[in-house]
Amino acid sequence: MVYEFIENGTLLDHLQGQKKLERSLLTWKHRLGIARDTAEGLAYLHFMAVPPIYHRDVKSSNILLDSKMNAKVSDFGLSRLAQTDMSHISTCAQGTLGYLDPEYYRNYQLTDKSDVYSFGVVLLELLTAHKAIDFNRDADDVNLAVYVQRMVEEERLVEVIDPVLKNGASAMEIDTMKALALLALGCLEERRQNRPSMKEVAEEIDYIISIATANDVKN
Among candidates 68, 4, 69, which has minimal Cα distance to 35?
Answer: 69
Distance of CA 31 to the CA centre of its chain: 10
**Which residues fall within 8 angstroms of residue 207, CB to CB, at 6 or more apart?**
none
**Which residues fall within 8 angstroms of residue 106, CB to CB, at 6 or more apart?**
none
CB burial class (10 A; 0-12, 13-18, 19+) of residue 30? Answer: middle
**What is the C-alpha to C-alpha distance for residues 102 and 191, in angstroms, rounded to an integer?**
8
- The residues assigned a catalytic role are 57
